[in-house]
Amino acid sequence: MTDTPANSVDATLRALLADILGLGDARAAALTEDSGLFGELPEFDSMAVATVLTEMEDRLGIIIDDDEIDGEIFETYGNLLAFSLRKVTD
């Protein structure tokens, strides 16, 4: 895998979800675009959502305005990745 910005955002996001949800490397690596997050993973509660947002800001060097957040972003891993990529390239 070449080290494009997209790959590095993807890797950062997987590591962050592994840290917060305690997924372990194997489960984090196995996440696909369609993998469900909020409502699907029992660990993904409202506190975890909040922690994910703050860690995304710290690790991706972005600022997330809470007006931008709706339920859809956390529906699937693909949605969260697309949102992150958009923020990083903004």
Partner 1 sequence: MGEHHLRIEPAGAPRATILIVPPLFEEANRTRHTLVLAMRALAARGFSAVMPDLPGQNESLVALEDVDLAGWQAALAEAAAIIDGPLLVASVRGGCLIDHSIKAAGWWRLAPVGGSSLLRTLLRARASADREAGVTSALESLTETAKSEPLLLAGNRLSPAMIAQLGDAEAQPVEPLRSVALGAGGITGTPLWLRAEPGEDAAMAQAIAADIANWSASCGAI
Binding site residues, partner 1, CB under 8 A: 19-22, 43-51, 53-55, 58, 66-67, 71
Measured from the CB atom, the residue of 6 and 39 that comes closer to partner 1 is: 39
Q: How far apart are CA 66 and CA 75, in angstroms?
A: 17
Measured from the CB atom, the residue of 2 and 56 that comes closer to partner 1 is: 56
Whole-Å CA distances, 47 to 3, 7, 53, 86: 32, 27, 10, 24
Work out how close the CB of 34 gets to partner 1 at its nearest, in angstroms, rounded to a whole number: 22
Work out how close the CB of 79 gets to partner 1 at its nearest, in angstroms, rounded to a whole number: 16
Measured from the CB atom, the residue of 50 and 82 that comes closer to partner 1 is: 50
- Do 28 and 15 form a contact (C-beta atoms < 8 A)? yes
Helix (H) or strand (E) holding 19: helix 5-21
